[in-house]
Amino acid sequence: MKYLTTIKTGILAALCCLAGCKEEALVAEVPAPGEGNSVPTGETRFVLPDAEGTNAHIWNGEDIQFELRRGTNDDKEITAAFDTSEETLDAMTAKYAEMKGINLFKLLRTESYELPQTIILAPSEQSVPVTVKIKDVEEGTFVLPLVLKSGEKELGVQFVEVIKHPAADFDMAWLDRTPSVTEPRLIAIIETAENDLRNAGNYVLYPNGTAQPETRRPLFDMTVIFSANMNWDAINGKPVLYYNESVRRILDNRDVFVKPLQDKGIKVLLSVMPNHQAIGFSNLDITGERTMIKEFARDIHEAIQQYGLDGVMFDDEYANYPETAESEQPGRPMIQMGSFHFLIKELRDLMPLVEGQAWKDRHNLITLYNTGPFTNGTTGNGWCLFSNKFDLIKNETDGWEDERATGPIAEDKKAVREWVKNPANQPVLDEIAQIKVGELLDFIWNDNYTRARTHKDSSTGKTEDTWIAGLYDGVNAEEKFGAASLEMSLEADYTIKHVRRFWENDGMEGGRIESVPASLTVQKTGGFQSLICFNLQYVPDTWNDAPFANLYLNDFKSIIFPSLGNTNSPEVRFEGTNYDTVISSYLK
């Protein structure tokens, strides 16, 4: 599949009007897109064949073959040439960068491309090829604006993005490695509003120390773009994917931010998280044709395909689920038993597991960050909604009874209980019981809260019980579950402070009580082979006019790997450009 960044003609028409701001400049005649983004054919135009509705294209290393096409009632000879005015091209480059939302684009040097000096379309010809040769490109992010004129008349504008990253110098055999407890699959979640995604690819692991450089590989197997949102479309009455400005900037520039990670073998996932709008993964309507579930699963799948990603991470925080049918945000269903089951099944059907599929070929990853009472087990206030433990609900045990030590049962939980106890709903419960969510998900990472910090349901005392259907002891849980979630972040009190243990604070709501070594002990004793690092942030090379050490590097060497039982003296280094184009807010 080709992942080309395209910008519709109507959006980029403003760029073409740059020339129209000057008296001697060209008049932009790029028409607004018609139905299906087609372009009217009445005017002679400069286009890329099979891509007439777009102005922006990605250079793939080969010559680009454009066409000058004759208009409907034009039968004269046309002589055309490219505008090479440096002033015009500089201005168009700046505006292009503004439209793409990043300040990285520079005008491609004249030494790096060749254009035909003159293009002649004879009266007997309907079109003539126009070849653009790009060569000897240095590393960087460039754009080549192509403005074709016939005299003072502008025939068309095209933009070519020319992006060249440093070559990935790893032995890609690292993708065939077998994860272990001591060297688990590591995933870095990047808050895109304050950090440059590319930095995650510059953390390099020397698993046996720097004396064996041939074994070096990326530290992280996966990176997550944090985060797209699950918003409520009040007009159509359904959930939709929403991208804030920082996420949109990355997705619209995937060749800049995503591709260099994937070229190193790192999987890039999109996080999807509710957005305080009373809609989340646990209250999608399960009645009728389940259109709401099917359409949202389709939206996620299409986003992964459109932006060339490798999968999705569900994060069920901040949903603000309706507590009653008369909630302040009407139209949203209340909590639905089986909502998440059906959503994951629908998405897995769109992104099927392939038996024996190599890791390098995995572009269908479906993962869960376990946080919030609805995704957790029955300990405390957990709802156990991702399990199939209907008997607990029917028998009013483990928090489903009206009066509990922590107070009366909430109205929304009571509604779930009554729905499960209703014999009329047994056929749907039977459907839910067949969906083993833990088998459909590739990874489940825990959030280190006091409840359900392992995959086992600690409230029952039975080691074979789990809080998520289809996740069980043995290889299934070991390969998929991560008990330790390391929130490795920097915080600002006008100094840089490393806060790798912030959940040890007694006053934090939710009562995180275990230290990093304690979390890693659970990870180690459980035999788990996956570990999540939340909030990995940009670290400046200098601070207050002095060198500043990357605090993460020492943590991996001195705390994380040793706590997992790794005795091979692994080293972690930051190698490559330290991208600070998106500087953390507290550093601005």
- Domain layout of the chain by residue ranges: 9-164, 172-587
Per-residue model confidence (pLDDT) at position 463? 53
CA 351 to chain centre: 16
Length, in residues, of the chain: 588
> Is the distance from CB of 484 to CB of 523 less than 8 angstroms?
yes
Q: What angle do CA 581, 585, 588 make, to 5 degrees?
A: 70
* C-beta atoms surrounding 129 within 10 Å: 11
pLDDT score recorded for residue 492: 53
What is the Cα–Cα distance from 69 to 86, expressed in whole angstroms?
A: 26
Tens digit of each residue's pLDDT, the chain (588 residues): 444 444 444 445 555 555 444 433 333 333 333 334 444 557 899 999 988 889 999 999 999 999 999 988 788 999 999 999 999 999 999 999 999 999 899 999 999 999 999 999 999 999 999 999 999 999 999 999 999 999 999 999 999 999 999 988 999 999 999 999 999 999 999 999 888 999 999 999 999 999 999 999 999 999 999 999 999 999 999 999 999 999 999 999 999 999 999 999 999 999 999 999 999 999 999 999 999 999 999 999 999 999 999 999 999 888 999 988 888 788 899 999 999 999 999 999 999 999 999 999 999 999 999 876 666 555 556 687 888 889 988 999 878 888 877 788 889 999 999 999 999 999 999 999 999 999 999 999 987 654 446 777 655 555 556 778 898 888 899 999 998 888 776 665 434 444 444 434 444 444 455 667 778 888 999 899 999 988 888 888 887 788 888 888 988 999 899 999 999 999 999 999 999 876 555 444
Give DSSP secondary structure letters for 32-74: PP-GGG---SSS-EEE-TT-TTBSEEE--SS-EEEEEE--TT-
Produce one character per residue of 233-269: b if its CB has 16 or more CB atoms within 10 Å, e if not: eeeeebbebbbeebbebbbbbbbbbbbbbbebbbbbb
- Is the CB of residue 555 less than 8 Å from the CB of residue 574? no
pLDDT value, residue 464 = 59
* Burial (CB count <10 Å: 0-12, 13-18, 19+), residue 135: exposed
Q: Which two tokens stand for residue 386?
A: 């991702």
- Report, at the CATH architecture level, how domain 172-587 is classified: Alpha-Beta Barrel (3.20)
317 is catalytic: yes
Helix/strand/coil for 298 = helix
Q: Token pair for residue 35?
A: 């139905």
The topology (CATH level 3) of 9-164 is: Immunoglobulin-like (2.60.40)
Q: Of these residues, 29, 317, 323, 411, which one is catalytic?
A: 317
CA 88, CA 85: separation in Å to the nearest integer?
5
